[in-house]
Structure 1
Amino acid sequence: MQKSRPKVDRLLDEKFKMKNKNPKSFDQVYQVVKRIPEGKVATYGQVAEKVNSLSLRKKITPRVVGFALHANKEHKVPCHRVVDRNGRLAPNYAFDGAKEQKRRLMSEGVGFINNMHVDLSKYLWRTKFDSLL
């Protein structure tokens, strides 16, 4: 009987597979994220929805969007503008974690309802995703 692996191992395996088998999806994620205007944020789900609307390939999930952003090496992609569905910052954001993500968002004028959550009622990017690319 095979011993079940911890959730982290399964997630890392999924991340590796996505990174190595479907880089086009990652590129599509980056193209969508580049369209988020300064002073606004989008959720992982919004980004996934747009990528899925652009592609007939296998659909991606908000989690895959997170993997793509974590793997990003291009400074022109404003990864700091993507938050979870509740407006929560990413604790594993590059460099100094959520602290750095918050600093970048605040420098763009984004407001918060508490230390870790963006005020989505004011700063969520509301747009027709169909006109993005």
Structure 2
Amino acid sequence: MNEESRREQAPSDRAAQVLPEYAERVLDVTELIPPGRVMTYGDIAEWLEEGGPRQVGRVMALYGEVVPWWRVVRSDGVLLPGHELHALERYREEGTPLRQASRAAQGHVPKIDMRRARWDGGDAGHGLGGADDDARAAARAETRADTTGDARPQAPEAHT
């Protein structure tokens, strides 16, 4: 499939497609990040020893809805524009260390306390590959098949 036809696909079509290997690896690392911790786009690229922050950001923009996307952040700790409130809700649920924004900051949205929240890969090692990763990939594929491309939580259906 060429790049032009990929861009023309509807989000639901893109969600059901087989992911490129690099995208799978980025998503695998994202799933390893513990609740309450974060990695930067650059951290993930460095950990994979491939690509850079922009490549990781592109993967997250295209495919990140099926993983805990809020745990992949900018290096300055500023919350993802357009997703600040949803991410902030997740950070508070998980106990992610935050810093209060200065009064001069637009909207007074907190930032992530990168010194306390940043995760370096800890005990996870570089063991990408094998049965655990295959199971994660299968679960993501199932989630992608069920999604319409909108990763925001949906209201439960009313039962009558």
User: What TM-score do the two structures reach when normalised by structure 2?
Assistant: 0.58
The number of aligned residues is 107
Report the equivalent of 2:114. Answer: 120
Structure 1: gaps spanning 5 or more residues? 1-12, 53-58
Question: Which has the larger Rg?
Answer: 2
The answer to whether residue 30 in structure 2 is matched with residue 33 in structure 1 is: yes
Please list every run of at least 4 consecutive aligned residues from structure 1 whose deviation after the TM superposition is greater than 2 angstroms. Answer: 126-130
Q: Residue type matched to 1:85 in 2?
A: S
Indicate the SS of the match to 1:89: coil
Structure 2 unaligned spans of 5+: 8-13, 102-108, 128-160
Q: Is the 8 A contact 2:32 2:124 kept in 1?
A: no
Alpha carbons of 1:129 and 1:61: their partners in 2 closer, same or farther (altered >3 Å)? Answer: farther
- How far the C-alpha of 1:74 sits from its partner, in A, is 5.2
- Residue of structure 1 aligned with 2:71, choices 68, 81, 87: 81
Task: State the percentage of identical aligned residues.
Answer: 28
2:79 aligned counterpart, secondary structure:
coil
- Offset of 1:70 from its aligned partner? 1.2
**How much is the aligned-residue C-alpha RMSD, in angstroms?**
2.8
What is the deviation of 1:129?
Answer: 8.1
Per-residue CA distance 1:67-86 (angstroms, 9 max, x = gap):
111111653x1111011111
